[in-house]
Amino acid sequence: MVNVVRTPTEAARAQMTPLARLPVFLSLEGKRAVLAGGSEAAAWKAELLSAAGANVDVYSEAPCDELRRMTGNPPKGAIVIHPRAWTAGDFPTAAIAVGAFADDESAAAFAQGARAAGVPVNVIDKPAFCDFSFGAIVNRSPLVIGISTDGGAPVFAQAIRAKLETLLPMGFSAWAAAAVRWRNAIKASGLSFAGRRKFWQLFTAHAIRHPAGEPLQADFDRFVAEVKGEGAAHEYGSVTLVGAGPGDAELLTLRAVRALQAADVILFDDLVSREVLDFARREAKKLLVGKTGFGPSCKQEDINALMVGLAKQGKRVVRLKGGDPLIFGRAGEEIEACKAENIPVQVVPGITAAQGAAASLGLPLTDRHHARRLQYVTGHAKDGRLPEDLDWKSLADPAATTAIYMPTRTLVALVARATAEGLDPRTPALAIARATRTDQATVAAPIGELATALAKADLGGPLLVLVGKTIGDAACARGAGVRRQQA
C-alpha cells in the first residue's frame, strides 16, 4: 500500500453570498436630520432619529399630537417642528432625510431634493424612493441589532425581532456599555494582543453567565489580574481541539461555535463539512490538514508541528476534527505535543458519528431488552489493516451494539473473524455513509451479507457500520439494499 503524503494547504476564503442590503450603523450624535411629514409614522421616525442622538427638524403644516408631545420630551436629540412644507434650502448641513408622503409625486420630489444636496434619503413605505431602509431593531444599546428583509416581509422581521428580544437579556446593555468604557483602559494596560483577546473572552463569558449583574471596576481588575496571572501562556497562544460532529452543522455545540469564532487559525480535516467552517469568523485562516483513509494525507507529525508552531506565534489555534476528537481522532498525540511545549490545550467534545447516525435514523443504540452495552471499534490499525488486538469475544456479544468506524477495506476480514469467534451472521447491521449530511446513504443487511451488499451499492465514504439487535427494526424498515437521502 502506497500512502500519498499531503502538505497543509490554506482553504480559499468562502465568497460572501449576495446581500439584498448592506447593514450599516450610522452615527447621528449631534447631527441634523430632516423629517418631512406629520403623521404617526413620521412621529415614530422622529423618535428613532432622536434616540440615535440626531437633532430633528420636522417640516409639517399639520403635525400629529404624538409629534407635538415629543418636542417637549425627546428621547435624546432635540425635535423641533417647523409649521410649513419642506424646501430645498432645508437639506444643506443635514446628515439624513426622511419623508412621510401618501403620494408618489410628493415622495419623488422630496427624494430628488435630498439627493441633489448629497443627503441620503428614506421615504416611509416607498422603497423605490429610498437610499436606505430602517429594519426591525433590538435595542440593548450600545448593543444594537438591525433586521432587514429588504422590505419584503416586515411582519417576519418583527417576529424575528420578538424572538431575539426573548433571547437577549436587558442586562446586556450595561455590559456593552462597560465594554465601551473599558476599551481604552485595556489598550493602555500593557497586555499583549493575545492577553487583550483573553480579557475580552473572560469579559464575554462572565457577561453571558451573569447578564443581570452590574459591571464593576472589581470585575475589570479581576479579569486583568487573571490574564496577567497566566503570564507567558497567553503570549504563546493556545490550542483547542474541537469536535465538528459527523457533518450536519446544526449539531455543533455552542462551545464549539464560540471556539470557532475566537480562532485565529483553524486546522481542519477532510471530514469536516464546509457548512461547519461557515461558523468561523471570516478573518480566521483556514488550513486543510486532511487525513483520508487510504488517500492523500498530511503526516501527523507535520500537523503537530504546525499546530504548536502557530500557537507559539501567539495564535489561537482550533484543531477541528470530524465527530468527537477523543474518539479515533488522534487527540492524544496532539494533546501530548502541546503539553510537551507548554502550550495551553483544551478539548471541546463533539457528537460522534455513531450518535449522529443513530439520531438521524431514529435508532436506539441501547435498550433494556437487547443491548445493555455500546462499544466503539476501529476498522483499521495504523498500517491500514485489520487490527489484530480487537476483543473478538466482545464483538460476538449478542447483548451489545457495536459501532465500527472506517471499515471500508477491512469489513470482509472483520466479519469473517468475528463470526468465527461466535458472532451470529444473521445479526442485523446497517452501514451509513456521510452520516447526518444531506447526501447520507444507508445499506441494511445481516452482518454476514453486509459486505456483499456494500460492494454492490458503492456508497463511498466516510463509512460507519452499526451491528446489533437494536438495529433490527431499522434494517427491516429499509430492507436489504441502499437508501439514499437527498436535500
Element (H, E) at 400: strand 400-405
Whether the bond between 462 and the residue before it is cis, its omega within 30 degrees of 0, is yes
Question: In the predicted model, is pLDDT for residue 305 greater than 70?
Answer: yes
DSSP 8-state symbol, 250: G
Per-residue pLDDT tens over the stretch 379-424: 888 888 888 889 999 999 999 999 999 998 899 999 999 999 999 9
Per-residue pLDDT tens over the stretch 63-108: 999 999 999 999 999 999 999 999 999 999 999 999 999 999 999 9
Q: What is the predicted pLDDT for the residue at 171? A: 92
Q: What is the predicted pLDDT for the residue at 482? A: 52
* Residue whose C-alpha is closest to residue 348's, from 216, 246, 245, 479: 245
Q: What is the predicted pLDDT for the residue at 385? A: 87
Average pLDDT value for residue range 289-295: 63
Query: Are 246 and 353 within 8 A, CB to CB?
Result: yes
Query: Are 365 and 471 within 8 A, CB to CB?
Result: no
Question: In the predicted model, is pLDDT for residue 338 greater than 80?
Answer: yes
Measured from the Cβ of residue 64, the count of other Cβ atoms closer than 10 Å reads 16
Q: What is the predicted pLDDT for the residue at 376? A: 95
Among 90, 219, 264, 269, the active-site one is 269
Query: Are 293 and 464 within 8 A, CB to CB?
Result: no
* Residue whose C-alpha is closest to residue 285's, from 316, 309, 259: 316
Average pLDDT value for residue range 274-285: 86
Helical axes 300-312 vs 331-340, angle rounded to 10° = 40
Q: What percent of the chain has pLDDT over 70?
A: 92
- What is the spatial distance between Cα 35 and Cα 114, in angstroms, rounded to a whole number? 11
- What is the spatial distance between Cα 209 and Cα 216, in angstroms, rounded to a whole number? 15
Residue environment code for 210-234, b if the CB has 16+ CB neighbours within 10 A, otherwise e: ebeeebeeebbeebbeebeeeeebb
| Residue 391 designated active-site | no
Q: What is the predicted pLDDT for the residue at 275? A: 87
Query: Are 52 and 28 within 8 A, CB to CB?
Result: yes
Q: Residues near 486 by Cβ (< 8 Å), separated by ≥ 6? A: 438, 439
Query: Are 268 and 243 within 8 A, CB to CB?
Result: no
Question: In the predicted model, is pLDDT for residue 473 greater than 60?
Answer: no
Average pLDDT, the chain: 88
> Residue type at 35?
L
DSSP 8-state symbol, 53: T
- What is the spatial distance between Cα 351 and Cα 474, in angstroms, rounded to a whole number? 21
What confidence category does residue 480 fall into, taking pLDDT thresholds of 50, 70 and 90?
very low
- What is the spatial distance between Cα 288 and Cα 268, in angstroms, rounded to a whole number? 5
Query: Are 104 and 80 within 8 A, CB to CB?
Result: no
Q: What is the predicted pLDDT for the residue at 262? A: 81
pTM for the model: 0.65
Q: What percent of the chain has pLDDT over 90?
A: 60
Average pLDDT value for residue range 335-359: 93
* Residue whose C-alpha is closest to residue 443's, from 379, 380, 361: 361
Query: Are 354 and 376 within 8 A, CB to CB?
Result: yes
- What is the spatial distance between Cα 307 and Cα 330, in angstroms, rounded to a whole number? 14
- Residues 83, 85, 87, 89, Cα dihedral to 10°: 10
What confidence category does residue 479 fall into, taking pLDDT thresholds of 50, 70 and 90?
very low
Average pLDDT value for residue range 235-242: 84
Residues in the chain, total: 487
CB hemisphere CA count around 330 (13 angstroms): 17
Query: Are 246 and 226 within 8 A, CB to CB?
Result: no
Q: What is the predicted pLDDT for the residue at 294? A: 52
The strand pair at 400-405 and 373-378 is best described as parallel
Q: What is the predicted pLDDT for the residue at 350? A: 95
> 6 pairs with which residues across the strands?
298
Cα three-residue angle 286-291-297, rounded to 5 degrees = 100
Q: Identify the three-state secondary structure at position 56.
A: strand
Q: Identify the three-state secondary structure at position 80.
A: strand
Q: How many helices (H) and strands (E) does the chain have?
A: 17, 21
Query: Are 114 and 120 within 8 A, CB to CB?
Result: yes
The strand pair at 441-446 and 428-433 is best described as antiparallel
Q: Of 11 and 395, which is predicted with more confidence?
A: 395
Among 45, 291, 315, 321, the active-site one is 291
